[in-house]
C-alpha cells in the first residue's frame, strides 16, 4: 500500500486529534510530531535526551503513555508516543554526531562529524524503546488498520 504524502496543509491549530482520529496521518518517521494536539502537549514535557539517565526516564514515561493509550484503544496516542521516542533517538544521534546539533554551517558546508558519547548513550536508550514498539505486533496491526481506513 502506498503511503499518501503527509498533509501539512491541515488546520493543525484547530483539530483535536483525540476527537478526530480520522484526520491523523501516520506519515513517514516523525512527520507531524510537533503538530498533533493534544498529544504533543501531553508528551513534550516528558521528552528529554540530555544524557542516558534523562533519556531512560523520558522514554519509560512516554512508553507508559503509549501503554495507557493502548488500553484506551487510542492508536493516535500510541503512534505519537512512538514518534516522540523515535525523535528522541534521531535528535540525540544528531547531537552525538555534530556539536550543537548542527550538521551544516551557515555557508552550507558540513561541520566535522564527531562522536559525543553522552548523547550517543542517550540515543541508544531511545533506540531500545523504539525497537520495542517497532516489534509490537498489536501496534503494527493497529497501524495497518488506521492506514487502511484513513490513510
Residues 93-119: tens digit of each pLDDT:
999 999 888 889 899 888 888 889 999
Measure Cα distances from 55 to 61, 75, 78, 81, 91 in Å. Answer: 10, 23, 19, 14, 11
Global pTM value: 0.93
Q: 3-class DSSP state for residue 14?
A: helix
pLDDT digits (tens, 9 = 90+) for 1-24: 556 788 898 899 999 999 999 999
User: What ranges do the domains of the chain cover?
Assistant: 44-100+113-151
The closest alpha carbon to 86, from 29, 43, 35, belongs to 29
Burial letters 49-58, b for 16+ CB under 10 A, else e: beebebbbeb
Amino acid at each position: 500500500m502506498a503511503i499518501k504524502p503527509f498533509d501539512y496543509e491541515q488546520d493543525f491549530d484547530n483539530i483535536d486529534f483525540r476527537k478526530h482520529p480520522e484526520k491523523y496521518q501516520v506519515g513517514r518517521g516523525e512527520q507531524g510530531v510537533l503538530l498533533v494536539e493534544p498529544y504533543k502537549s501531553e508528551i513534550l514535557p516528558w521528552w528529554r535526551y540530555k544524557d542516558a539517565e534523562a533519556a531512560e526516564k523520558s522514554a519509560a514515561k512516554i512508553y507508559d503513555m503509549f501503554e495507557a493509550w493502548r488500553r484506551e484503544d487510542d492508536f493516535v496516542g500510541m503512534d505519537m508516543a512512538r514518534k516522540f521516542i523515535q525523535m528522541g533517538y534521531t535528535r540525540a544521534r544528531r547531537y552525538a554526531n555534530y556539536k550543537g546539533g548542527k550538521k551544516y554551517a551557515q555557508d552550507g558546508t558540513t561541520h566535522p562529524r564527531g562522536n559525543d558519547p553522552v548523547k550517543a548513550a542517550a540515543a541508544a536508550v531511545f533506540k531500545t524503546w523504539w525497537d520495542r514498539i517497532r516489534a509490537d505486533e498489536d501496534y503494527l496491526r493497529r497501524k495497518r488498520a488506521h492506514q487502511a481506513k484513513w490513510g
